[in-house]
Amino acid sequence: IVCRINVASVRCFASQPELATHTAPSVKLLIDGEFVESQATEWVDVTNPATQEVVSRLPETTTGEFNAAVQAAKEAFPKWRSTPLPTRSRVMFKFQELIRKNMDELAANVTLEQGKTLPDAKGDVFRGLEVVEYACNLAPDLMGDYIENVSTGMDTYSVRQPLGVVAGICPFNFPAMIPLWMFPIACTVGNTFVLKPSEKDPGAAMMLAELALEAGLPRGVLNIVHGTHGTVNRILDHPDIKAVSFVGSDRAGRYIYERGSANGKRVQANMGAKNHAVILPDANPEATVAALTGAAFGAAGQRCMAISAAVFVGGIEPWKDALLSRAKALNVGPGAASSTDVGPLITPEARDRAANLIQSGVDQGAELLLDGRGVKVPGFELGNFLGPSLLSGVNPSMDCYKEEIFGPVLVCLEAETLDEAISIVNSNEHGNGTALFTRSGPAARKFQNEVEVGMVGINVPIPVPLPFFSFTGWRGSFHGDLHMYGKAGLQFFTQAKTITTNWKDTDDQRGKRAPGLDA
Ligand code: NAD
C-alpha cells in the first residue's frame, strides 16, 4: 500500500490523542521516494509522555523492507553523486524555506511525541535548521588541495568524494535536530541515506522527510526505516552501508561503534554525558543562577548538553537560597501548555529511573534540597512528570553522580580550589560539555586550557557550537575521530582521493597538434 503522509495529516494525529492503540495511525516507511505501509508483524506504540495516549504505531521494519530501502539508496547514488553541487545545494535552500514555513507544525509534533515545551520544541527544529543552512553552502569547506610541480610536469591534487549509502541512528531527545545533523550534510555532499529515527518519537523525522522530498530531493536519496535493535543490527551488518552516524546512550553507542567498525564501516558515535558547571565565588550571582537552572532543568534535563552536575568552588552556601527559589518557581506540566517550564520525561521507566537515582543519592549521604518526586499535574495524572530536584553534598563515588540521570536533577559538589574542580571534571568518564562561571579572565583561560572536555562555555551554560564549527564531545561521550556537522561532519561523509598527473611537455609532444585535431 502506498500512502503519502503530509504535514496536515500529521498535525491531525496531534489533535486526536484519544486514539486507542489499534486505531492509531501507523508510521510509514520511506522507500524509494514513496511513503509505504510496513508489512511488519511487530509494532511499537508511540505515546504522548504527558498523557500515555497512543499517538501512532511504529513498525519493526522487515528484512525485505530494510533491504529494499538500502537498494533504493544504492541505485539512487550514481546519478545523485554526479548531480552538480549547486543543484544539490538548491534542494537545501528550498528545504530550509519549507522547514521555516512548517515550524509550528513540526514543533507541535515534537511536543506531542517527545513532551518538551513548545519553545523548546521550536528550538529543537531551529538548531536543526541551522545545519540545513550550513548545508546550503558547503563548497568552501569541500574544496580540495592542489600543488603544481610535485615533479617536473607533474601536479597533485586531492578531492573529497561521497562514500555511497550511509545511515543515521537517532535518539529520542531531539527528534527534529538530530536527523537534521545527519542527512542534510550527508546528502548534499552526494551520499544517499538510510535514516532510523528514534522509535519513541519518529513524527518529526517523517515530516522533515516529506518536506525534503517536496524540496526536490530525488527518490531513493533519503529513505526511512523504523524499529529497535533488529533494525540497528541490519544497519550495522549490511555490506552496502559505508558509514553510520549514531547519537544516543553509552550502551547503544559502544555497541554500534564496535559492531559497525568490525564490519568495516566508518562510525561516529555521540553518546552520554555528565556536564559540569564550575562556579567560582566571583561569578555574577543572578546571571549564574539563572543559567544554572535553565541548563539543569530546561527540556526536563533531557539534553546531552544539560548541566547535570554543579561544582561550587568555596562551597554551595552563598548560592543555595537563590538556586532553590528559582528551581521551586519552575512550573511542571504538559509541554503544550504555555505556562509550563518543565515537561514530562519520555517514559514512565525514565521517570522511575531518575527517581531511584535521587533516592540512591539520599541513601548514600547526599542532602535532598529539593525533591521533585511525586509532583502532581492536575488533568495529566498519567504523565511522566518529575519536578526539578537538587541534591547537595554529592561526591564522585555516589551513583547519582556516576550515572547520567537524564532528568531535571542537579547534583551539587563542592571544591576548595579551581584546580580541585578541574580535577573532578577531568576524572569523570564523560567529556561532552562543561561551563565555567567567573569574572576572572585568568581563571577562565586556565579552565579552558586544562579541562579535558570537548565543548567549553565561559559564562555560557550550554555551549553547543553553531554548525560551521563541529559538535566535539570528548572521551566517554564520543567514539570515532570525525565529529558531527561542520568541517568534521563533512569529512565524515566524504573520503579524500589524491590524484597525481603527468603532463610533461616532452620533445615528442612539443609542436605537434593534439591527436584527432588534424582534420
Ligand atoms: P538510546 O541509546 O536508547 O537510543 C538511541 C538509538 O539507538 C535509538 O534509535 C534506539 O533504537 C537505538 N538503540 C537503543 N538501544 C540499543 C541497543 N542496545 N542496541 C542497538 N540499538 C539500540 O538513546 P536515547 O535514550 O534515545 O537518547 C538519550 C541518550 O542520548 C542520552 O544518553 C543522551 O546523552 C544521548 N545523546 C547524546 C548526544 C550527543 O551528541 N552526544 C545528543 C543527544 C542525546
Residue linked to cell 554551595: 316
What strands, in cross-sheet order, belong to the sheet with 154-162? 145-151, 154-162, 494-502
Give the other-Cβ count within 10 Å of 164's Cβ. Answer: 18
ipTM (interface predicted TM): 0.98
Relative to the CA of 199, which ligand 1 atom is closest? 11
CB atoms within 10 A of CB 191: 26
**251 alpha carbon – ligand 1 mean position (Å):** 8
- Count the neighbouring beta carbons within 10 Å of the beta carbon of residue 41: 8
Q: Residue 352: enclosing H or E segment and its boundaries?
A: helix 348-363
Q: Note the Cα 321 to chain centre separation in Å.
A: 34
Query: What are 290-340's pLDDT values in tens digits?
Result: 999 999 999 999 999 999 999 999 999 999 999 999 999 999 999 999 999
Per-residue pLDDT, 6: 42
Q: Does any ligand 1 atom lie closer than 6 A to the CB of residue 304? A: yes
Atom 23 in ligand 1: residue holding the nearest Cα: 248
CA 416 / ligand 1 centre spacing (Å):
36
Q: Is the CB of 273 under 6 A from ligand 1?
A: yes
Q: Which residue owns the Cα nearest ligand 1 atom 38?
A: 304
Task: Check pocket membership of 182 for ligand 1, CB cut-off 6 A.
Answer: no
d(CA 157, CA 159): 7
What's the pLDDT at 516? 59
CA of 155 to the centre of ligand 1 (A): 46
* Structure-block grid coordinates of residue 226: 523504523
**Alpha-carbon gap, residue 164 to 175, rounded angstroms:** 25
Residue-wise pLDDT for 49-73, tens only, equals 999 999 999 999 999 999 999 999 9
Section 395-416 average pLDDT: 97
pLDDT-derived band of residue 8, with 50, 70 and 90 as boundaries? very low
CB atoms within 10 A of CB 9: 13
Report the pLDDT value the prediction gives residue 23, as an integer from 0 to 100.
80
pLDDT of amino acid 17: 41
d(CA 121, CA 6): 20
Q: At what angle do helices 203-214 and 103-114 cross, to 10 degrees?
A: 160
Q: What is the pLDDT of residues 10-51, one digit of tens each?
A: 433 333 344 444 689 999 999 999 999 999 999 999 999 999
Query: Is pLDDT at 476 greater than 80 in this prediction?
Result: yes
How many other C-beta atoms are found inside a 10 Å radius of the C-beta of residue 17?
Answer: 16
Quote the CA–CA distance of 333 and 327 in Å, as a whole number.
14
Pairing between β-strand 389-392 and β-strand 367-370 as defined by DSSP bridges = antiparallel
Q: If you take atom 11 of ligand 1, which residue's CA is the nearest one?
A: 228
Q: Is there a contact between 245 and 185 (Cβ–Cβ < 8 Å)?
A: no
> Vertex 225, ends 202 and 484: CA angle to 5°?
75
Has 304 been annotated as catalytic?
Answer: yes
To the nearest whole percent, how much of the chain has pLDDT over 70?
A: 93
User: How much is the pLDDT for 22?
Assistant: 61
Residue of 187, 304, 400, 412 marked active site? 304
Q: Is 228 in the pocket of ligand 1 (CB under 6 A)?
A: yes
Helix residue spans in 435-485 (DSSP H): 441-450
User: Distance between the two ends of the chain, CA-based, in angstroms?
Assistant: 60
Q: Would you state the pLDDT for residue 511?
A: 58
CA distance 30 to 65: 10
298 CB under 6 A from ligand 1?
no
Higher pLDDT, residue 9 or 440:
440
Nearest residue (CA) to ligand 1, atom 20: 229
* Among 114, 120, 259, 304, residue to substitute to test ligand 1 (most atoms within 8 Å of Cβ): 304
Mutate to test the pocket of ligand 1, among 245, 249, 256, 464 (most ligand atoms within 8 A of CB): 249
511 vs 456, more confident:
456
What ligand 1 atom has the least distance to the C-alpha of 406? 31
Confidence label for 505 from pLDDT (cuts 50, 70 and 90): confident
Strand partners, 275: 307
Q: Indicate if the pLDDT at residue 479 is higher than 70.
A: yes
Q: CA-CA distance, 116 to 125, in Å (whole number)?
A: 12
Predicted confidence at residue 95, as pLDDT, reads 98
Average pLDDT rounded to a whole number, residues 487-513 = 85
CA distance 36 to 28: 5
Q: Using pLDDT thresholds of 50, 70 and 90, give the confidence band for residue 504.
A: confident
Q: What is the pLDDT of residues 229-263, one digit of tens each?
A: 999 999 999 999 999 999 999 999 999 999 999 99
Q: How far apart are CA 110 and CA 116, in angstroms?
A: 7
pLDDT tens string 171-198: 999 999 999 999 999 999 999 999 999 9
Place of cell 511522566: 384
Nearest atom, ligand 1, residue 346 CA: 25
Per-residue pLDDT at 508: 59
- The CA 188 to ligand 1 mean position distance, Å, reads 25
User: HSE of 343 in the Cβ direction (CA atoms, 13 Å)?
Assistant: 28
User: 109 pLDDT exceeds 90?
Assistant: yes
The pLDDT of residue 1 is 28
β-bridge partners, 193: 166, 222
* Vertex 351: Cα angle to 431 and 391 (nearest 5): 60
Amino acid in the structure at residue 247: V
